[in-house]
């Protein structure tokens, strides 16, 4: 690239297609102009379109733009080809930002910063202007700023097209290793940046407290208020210290619904709280598969304070997080010696760049709770072998003392490695995991231990310019053994993908799977019981018009019923599952997102239902301006249980959520909302003995009577970002 003079605009053109036809000229022309002054980086996008009436654009909430046309700026400000800041904008100027990690989890949109945008549709296409303050970036400043990496992308969803500058070919594995180099920045700096973000949260509520599961109680308060402060300090342009007192963990966005019935292992719900989300990629161990993570911050439920130091100096990347957690001492009854005590968490990671695209790092996590502790530490690396192949490995050991266990001290290890290959037509992932029986991570997420697990995924696509644009096979296979050598699980499935224009994918699936339950897996089982089931399914998604997007999958398979009545052993049944989402945008300011989840299990050989679980959710959002919106969510969850074949209770739940948002920018916002929850709960809440809950009981009891309002709140939240 040419070196721009101060205040001059550098013109960039010559975009190249990545999809659907790698290396071809774009169907639409894009010109970009880049310039800067002492305070801001400016990027002006001229996106020409031969059919401007077909441009997809909606006035939507921040970061809800990925069904629209949009443009993306990726800035690798340390020029290490490993991390970048991502700035996305749709034709109406709606923003989305995030952190991109090469050979990791892709773009994490949980990162937010302050920047300015404007956009409008013209008779020739659309124009977008991005203005990014240098104080919102992290880089090494000075009289002459070191080189940056740059990638520009334009997405045209109606033609399934993505265009890049420079060329980012799908024939190579990675994006930042194909970035352009920007030189010539002079006299700019993120500065000795400080910012303070106080907040206030007040509510009136009535809800059930289940901190002690066997002793549910009804709590209510006319006014419950809370305030706190987040602060940020930048040192040496690239090191960031975040500190928080009474951190703002009031969740405005609700979790997406998931099926949690008849699950043998824990279900993953992603983190949503701002303090833990920001710069979370500094703690990643470059592991592509996230069902075994060393850092799952939802384990820190109720902190009073937290600090985090993140940054990059030369080839070194570092992250340190420390927080307390009051919830540990709230989950036991008064009189317990651990009542009122708090746990303390710490996680540290340091990584060193090796060559152009490889990294080696160390990680350590720690949880302390009175005399109990959990220490986990080890190393990891990610090596780029050539333009298509990466190799990764992570090995850690754990040391744990838990006074509640029969053998309170235990030790374990976790080794995870594999290869990832990617080209224009193929993707191949191979992974091996070895997790010992004694491994435990109190700050992480591990679905199961005592496994030796081998898995592989492969696809090969043929691509065409017209009609059916991609088609080809996908194959997934996995096999799991325990450390005695017993095969406890396998899964083999095959599908053939058919891809058409307008983001339409159809994939019929067939497969076979097996689970082996051992006596250690289920109380009362005194032998190994192997269950084998075949399955068929269909995956479908399409966005045929800018007003409508549909995603759905349906499976018919065998299932192991583990929620059997007391005294019975697990048995095999027939299962039907369905997951469908439909997004409707009848006009530019309104978006309606609907979700339906079905899980039905029938008992074999008797054709009677074990349970039927239905989840129906409808979310309506009306965006008056980029800042002002109203949102309404209604959700029904109905679990109909046949207690002849299951230990489940029939539960019916209705939840209503209303929210008004005025979001000036991340950090400065006003929220006002109302939430109400209705459920078929017995008014006595639990099974009682002499007027108190049975400590050996099941906890919350659901009765056959009408709905009880077991959760209701009105709340206001105000936050303000001050950047002196």
CB 166 within 8 Å of CB 180: yes
- pLDDT top residue among 298 and 352: 352
pLDDT exceeds cutoff 60 at 227: yes
CB 340 within 8 Å of CB 329: yes
pLDDT exceeds cutoff 70 at 195: yes
Nearest to 397 by CA among 372, 378, 373: 378
Q: CA-CA distance, 539 to 690, in Å (whole number)? A: 54
pLDDT exceeds cutoff 50 at 1: no
Q: CA-CA distance, 534 to 510, in Å (whole number)? A: 8
Residue 689 structure tokens: 């003995």
Q: Name the residue ranges covered by the structural domains of the chain.
A: 10-188
| Residue carrying the six token digits 């401007």 | 52
pLDDT exceeds cutoff 70 at 4: no
Q: What is the pTM of this model?
A: 0.85
Indicate the range of 9-23, 208-222, 414-428, 438-452 predicted with least confidence.
208-222
- What does the pLDDT look like over 454-504, one tens digit per residue? 999 999 998 776 656 789 999 999 999 999 999 999 999 999 999 888 789
Q: What is the CATH number of domain 10-188?
A: 2.60.40.1190
Contacts of 580 (CB under 8 A, 6+ apart): 550, 551, 552, 553, 595, 596, 597
From residue 461, give the alpha-carbon distance in Å to each of 18, 170, 173, 426, 475. Answer: 15, 12, 16, 6, 12
Mean pLDDT of 266-289: 73
Contacts of 651 (CB under 8 A, 6+ apart): 637, 638, 639, 679, 680, 702
User: Residue 104 burial by CB count (10 A; 0-12/13-18/19+): exposed, middle or buried?
Assistant: buried
pLDDT exceeds cutoff 50 at 86: yes
- pLDDT top residue among 45 and 281: 45
pLDDT exceeds cutoff 90 at 89: yes
Indicate the range of 528-537, 603-612, 642-651 predicted with least confidence.
603-612
Mean pLDDT of 96-125: 87
pLDDT exceeds cutoff 50 at 5: no
CB 512 within 8 Å of CB 489: no
Q: Where are the beta strands (DSSP E) in 30-134?
A: 30-36, 40-48, 70-76, 83-89, 95-101, 106-108, 116-122, 125-133
Nearest to 144 by CA among 8, 312, 10, 3: 3
Mean pLDDT of 283-312: 80
Q: How confident is the model at residue 2 (pLDDT cuts 50, 70, 90)?
A: very low
pLDDT exceeds cutoff 70 at 192: no
Indicate the range of 209-213, 297-301, 402-406, 614-618 predicted with least confidence.
209-213
Question: Order of strands, edge to edge, in the sheet holding 30-36?
Answer: 10-12, 30-36, 40-48, 125-133, 116-122
pLDDT exceeds cutoff 50 at 566: yes
Instruction: Check residue 441 and give its pLDDT.
Output: 94
Q: CA-CA distance, 469 to 358, in Å (whole number)? A: 34
Mean pLDDT of 162-186: 91
Q: How confident is the model at residue 18 (pLDDT cuts 50, 70, 90)?
A: very high
Instruction: Check residue 331 and give its pLDDT.
Output: 73
Average pLDDT over all residues of the chain: 88
Backbone φ, ψ for residue 8 (5° rounding): -75, 155
To the nearest whole percent, how much of the chain has pLDDT over 90?
53
Cβ neighbour number for residue 239 with a 10 Å cutoff: 15
Indicate the range of 67-81, 121-135, 296-310, 676-690 predicted with least confidence.
676-690
Instruction: Check residue 99 and give its pLDDT.
Output: 86
Cβ neighbour number for residue 162 with a 10 Å cutoff: 20
Mean pLDDT of 588-598: 94
Instruction: Check residue 506 and give its pLDDT.
Output: 95
pLDDT exceeds cutoff 50 at 3: no
From residue 364, give the alpha-carbon distance in Å to each of 347, 433, 497. Answer: 6, 19, 41
Residue 92 structure tokens: 């109406």
Mean pLDDT of 568-583: 92
From residue 378, give the alpha-carbon distance in Å to each of 110, 284, 285, 363, 412. Answer: 27, 13, 10, 6, 12
Q: How confident is the model at residue 135 (pLDDT cuts 50, 70, 90)?
A: confident
Cβ neighbour number for residue 422 with a 10 Å cutoff: 19
Instruction: Check residue 6 and give its pLDDT.
Output: 41
Q: How confident is the model at residue 297 (pLDDT cuts 50, 70, 90)?
A: confident
Q: CA-CA distance, 326 to 270, in Å (whole number)? A: 21
- pLDDT top residue among 579 and 278: 579
Instruction: Check residue 211 and give its pLDDT.
Output: 73
Q: How far is CA 532 from the centre of its chain?
A: 32
Q: CA-CA distance, 129 to 150, in Å (whole number)? A: 17
| Residue carrying the six token digits 């969850």 | 637
Q: How confident is the model at residue 184 (pLDDT cuts 50, 70, 90)?
A: confident
Q: How confident is the model at residue 251 (pLDDT cuts 50, 70, 90)?
A: low
Instruction: Check residue 235 and give its pLDDT.
Output: 79
């Amino acid at each position: 690239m040419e070196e721009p003079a101060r205040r001059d605009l550098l013109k960039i053109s010559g975009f190249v297609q990545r999809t659907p036809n790698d290396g071809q000229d774009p169907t639409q022309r894009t010109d970009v102009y880049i310039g800067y002054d002492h305070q801001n980086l400016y990027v002006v996008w001229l996106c020409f379109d031969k059919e401007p009436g077909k441009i997809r654009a909606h006035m939507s909430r921040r970061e809800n733009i990925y069904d629209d046309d949009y443009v993306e700026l990726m800035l690798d400000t340390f020029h290490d080809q490993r991390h970048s800041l991502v700035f996305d904008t749709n034709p109406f100027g709606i923003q989305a930002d995030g952190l991109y990690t090469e050979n990791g989890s892709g773009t994490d949109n949980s990162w937010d910063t302050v920047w300015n945008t404007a956009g409008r549709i013209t008779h020739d296409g659309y124009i977008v202007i991005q203005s990014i303050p240098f104080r919102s970036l992290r880089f090494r400043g000075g009289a002459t700023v070191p080189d940056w990496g740059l990638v520009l992308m334009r997405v045209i969803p109606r033609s399934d097209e993505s265009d890049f500058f420079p060329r980012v070919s799908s024939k190579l594995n990675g994006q930042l290793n194909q970035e352009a180099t920007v030189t010539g920045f002079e006299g700019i700096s993120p500065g000795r940046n400080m910012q303070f973000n106080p907040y206030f949260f007040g509510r009136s509520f009535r809800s059930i407290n289940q901190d002690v599961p066997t002793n549910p109680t009804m709590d209510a308060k006319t006014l419950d208020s809370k305030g706190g402060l987040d602060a940020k300090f930048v040192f040496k342009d690239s090191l960031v210290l975040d500190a928080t007192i009474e951190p703002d963990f009031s969740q405005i966005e609700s979790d997406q619904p998931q099926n949690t019935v008849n699950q043998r292992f824990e279900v993953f719900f992603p983190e949503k709280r701002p303090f833990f989300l920001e710069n979370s990629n500094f703690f990643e161990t470059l592991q592509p598969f996230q069902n075994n993570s060393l850092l799952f911050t939802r384990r820190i439920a109720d902190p009073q304070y937290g600090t985090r130091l993140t940054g990059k100096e030369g080839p070194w990347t570092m992250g340190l997080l420390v927080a307390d957690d009051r919830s540990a001492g709230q989950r036991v009854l008064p009189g317990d010696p651990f009542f009122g005590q708090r746990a303390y968490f710490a996680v540290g990671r340091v990584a060193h760049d090796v060559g152009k695209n490889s990294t080696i790092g160390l990680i350590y996590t720690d949880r302390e709770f009175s005399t109990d502790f959990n220490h986990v530490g080890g190393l990891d690396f990610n090596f780029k072998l050539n333009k298509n192949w990466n190799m990764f490995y992570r090995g850690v050991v754990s040391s744990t003392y838990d006074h509640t266990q029969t053998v309170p001290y235990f030790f374990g290890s976790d080794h995870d490695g594999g290869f990832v290959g990617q080209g224009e037509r193929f993707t191949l992932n191979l992974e091996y995991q070895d997790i010992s029986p004694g491994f435990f991570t109190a700050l992480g997420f591990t679905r199961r231990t005592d496994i030796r697990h081998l898995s592989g995924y492969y696809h090969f696509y043929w691509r065409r310019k017209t009609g059916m644009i991609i088609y080809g096979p996908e194959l997934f296979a996995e096999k799991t053994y325990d450390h005695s050598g017993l095969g406890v699980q396998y899964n083999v499935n095959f599908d053939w993908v058919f891809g058409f224009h307008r983001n339409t994918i159809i994939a019929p699936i067939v497969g076979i799977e097996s689970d082996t339950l051992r006596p250690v897996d289920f109380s009362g089982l005194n032998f190994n019981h192997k269950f084998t089931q075949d399955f068929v399914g269909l995956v479908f998604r399409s966005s045929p018009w800018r007003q409508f997007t549909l995603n759905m999958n349906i499976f018919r398979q065998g299932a192991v019923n583990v929620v059997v009545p007391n005294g019975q052993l697990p048995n095999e049944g027939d299962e039907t599952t369905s997951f469908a989402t439909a997004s409707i945008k009848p006009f530019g300011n309104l978006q309606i997102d609907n979700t339906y989840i079905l899980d039905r299990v029938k008992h074999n050989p008797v054709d009677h239902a074990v349970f039927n679980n239905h989840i129906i959710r409808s979310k309506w959002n009306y965006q008056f301006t980029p800042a002002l919106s109203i949102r309404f969510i209604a959700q029904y969850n109905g679990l109909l249980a046949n207690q002849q074949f299951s230990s489940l209770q029939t539960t019916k739940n209705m939840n209503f959520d209303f929210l008004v948002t005025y979001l000036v920018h991340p950090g400065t916002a006003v929220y006002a909302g109302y939430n109400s929850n209705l459920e078929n709960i017995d008014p006595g809440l639990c099974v009682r003995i002499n007027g108190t809950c049975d400590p050996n009981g099941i906890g919350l009891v659901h009765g056959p009577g009408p709905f009880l309002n077991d959760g209701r709140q009105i709340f206001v939240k105000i936050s303000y970002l001050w950047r002196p």
